[in-house]
C-alpha cells in the first residue's frame, strides 16, 4: 500500500511481535499437525507449506496474529482467537489481513475499517506489525 493510500487514515491501534522460528519448529515437532491446524487457517498452511522451509513463514504469521491481538487491545482472548486474524496475499504478493466473523465484530466495535499488516522473517526470526485503521 502506497503512502498516498494511507494519507487520511487514522491509526486506532498498533501491534508488533517477534518470534523465534525455532519456537514454531519445536512446537510443530512436539505436537505435529494438530498444532498447525489449531493456529493457522487452511489458506495460511497451504501458502507456508509450499515454501522450501515453511517455519519462517509460519513464525511471521504467528507474530502477525499476536500483533493483531495487540492492535485490537485484546491479546489472544476476549473474542480474539488464533484464526480470528489470518494473512493472505494480494495479486502483487503483498500481505493482506483477513478477519473472520469475530474479527469483523471487533473491528466494528473499535470503530476501525481495516487492518494493515507487514511481515518479515529471517531463518531465525519472524516479525510482524499490524495497524488498526479508520
Task: Check if 121 is active-site.
Answer: yes
Task: Check if 92 is active-site.
Answer: no
Q: Which three cell numbers stand for residue 48?
A: 507456508
3-state secondary structure 119-131: EEECCCEEEEEEE
Out of 55, 65, 83, 121, pick the active-site residue: 121
Query: For residues 115 and 4, is the Cβ–Cβ distance under 8 A?
Result: no
Out of 70, 83, 92, 127, pick the active-site residue: 70
Strand intervals (E) in the chain: 11-20, 85-89, 95-99, 114-121, 125-133
Maximum C-alpha span of the chain: 46
Concatenating the DSSP letter of every residue in 24-50 gives HHHHHHHHTHHHHHHHS-HHHHHHHHT
Q: Which of 59, 71, 50, 58 is nearest to 117 (CA)?
A: 71
Catalytic positions are 70, 121
Amino acid at each position: 500500500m502506497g503512502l498516498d493510500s494511507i494519507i487520511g487514515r487514522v491509526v486506532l491501534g498498533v501491534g508488533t511481535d517477534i518470534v523465534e522460528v525455532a519456537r514454531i519448529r519445536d512446537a510443530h515437532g512436539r505436537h505435529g499437525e494438530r498444532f498447525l491446524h489449531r493456529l493457522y487457517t487452511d489458506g495460511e498452511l497451504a501458502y507456508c507449506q509450499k515454501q522450501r522451509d515453511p517455519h519462517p513463514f509460519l513464525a511471521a504469521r504467528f507474530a502477525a496474529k499476536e500483533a493483531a491481538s495487540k492492535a485490537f487491545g485484546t491479546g489472544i482472548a476476549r473474542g480474539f482467537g488464533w484464526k480470528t486474524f489470518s494473512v493472505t496475499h494480494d495479486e502483487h504478493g503483498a500481505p493482506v489481513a483477513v478477519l473472520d466473523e469475530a474479527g469483523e465484530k471487533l473491528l466494528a466495535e473499535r470503530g476501525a475499517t481495516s487492518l494493515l499488516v507487514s511481515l518479515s522473517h529471517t531463518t531465525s526470526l519472524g516479525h510482524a506489525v499490524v495497524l488498526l485503521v479508520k
